[in-house]
Amino acid sequence: MLKLGVNIDHVATVREARYRGRGFGEPCPVAAALACEAAGAHGITAHLREDRRHIQDRDVVALRKKVSSRFNLEMANAEEIIRFALKLKPDIVCLVPERRLEVTTEGGLDVAGNLAALKRTCRRMNDAGIEVSLFIAPDPIQVAAAAMTGSQFIELHTGAYAECFGKARERKAELKRLAAAAAQAHDLGLQVNAGHGLNCANVPPLLAAVPHLVELNIGHSIVSRSLTVGLAKAVKEMLAVMRG
């Protein structure tokens, strides 16, 4: 069964717009996570950025205690965050590239260019009982490199597909790239997740074209939709689309 992981970063983004640096405020990311779980989400994702622009350390600690489904910590391959994760022990970490000026995570990890460092981090996480996913573009070189790191998963970056969704020829080409990357990863023994820019409109063609998907990680479109219909209904709508 295809699983849905809900990224709650933007719940914290709304809170930090008003209460940044104050240690309290609403909306509460933990309450949002629990609402997503109650609506049927199979996991919760939060990205603890080095600049702490949205999710804060206290959020992650509370999420680890309260979330009963699979908790996925997105993080840069940075020593401070690595040590935090090893102490926290989430179910899985997803290593992502991180740049201070970006609005959200743009582009995938350069696994091939950072193979030794990523191998070390994967080994440290796995030794602590934490699974690892690598957020990568659907590129055969990066998929091959990911299989050499000791990670259990890749998460295919679907941002380019989402951006060109309204252009039929480009959409078809991106789906072909994603399908090839998923097949290659599966053949190399990796499990395959996908995420970035996914919504109720672009998920069905993705599922029709791309094999071996285990989980979709979706945040912005669900949180945005929740402003008009509520979080529970937004999650249930996405689950219905995925089942369809």
pLDDT of amino acid 100: 52
Report the SS3 class of residue 123. Answer: helix
- Per-residue pLDDT of 100-116, as tens digits, reads 544 455 679 999 999 99
Q: Is 54 annotated as catalytic?
A: no
> What phi and psi values does residue 72 have, to the nearest 5 degrees?
-110, 120
If phi > 0 it is left, if psi is from -120 to 50 it is alpha, else beta; for residue 23 that is left
- Which is catalytic among the residues 47, 54, 131, 155? 47
DSSP tag of 114: G
pLDDT above 90: residue 243? yes
pLDDT of amino acid 141: 98
pLDDT of amino acid 98: 75
DSSP assignment of 145-177, as one string?
Answer: HHTTTT-SEEEEE-HHHHHTTT-HHHHHHHHHH
pLDDT above 90: residue 16? yes
- Which is catalytic among the residues 155, 157, 196, 215? 196
- Per-residue pLDDT of 198-237, as tens digits, reads 999 999 999 999 999 999 999 999 999 999 999 999 999 9
Domains and their CATH numbers in the chain: 3-243 (3.20.20.70)
- Per-residue pLDDT of 46-99, as tens digits, reads 999 999 999 999 999 999 999 999 999 999 999 999 999 999 999 999 999 976
Nearest to 188, CA basis, from 141, 225, 235, 234? 141
* Residue 244 to residue 52: CA distance in whole angstroms: 37
Tokens of 171: 């959409």
Q: Is 47 annotated as catalytic?
A: yes
pLDDT of amino acid 164: 97
Per-residue pLDDT averaged across 121-139, rounded? 98
- Per-residue pLDDT of 170-209, as tens digits, reads 999 999 999 999 999 999 999 999 999 999 999 999 999 9
Q: Is 74 annotated as catalytic?
A: yes
pLDDT above 80: residue 169? yes
Tokens of 113: 């260019």
Per-residue pLDDT averaged across 154-162, rounded? 98
DSSP tag of 113: G
pLDDT of amino acid 106: 63
- Which is catalytic among the residues 74, 98, 155, 174? 74
Q: Cα angle at 161 between 46 and 145, to 5 degrees? A: 70
By percentage, how much of the chain surpasses pLDDT 90? 95
Q: What is the pTM of this model?
A: 0.95
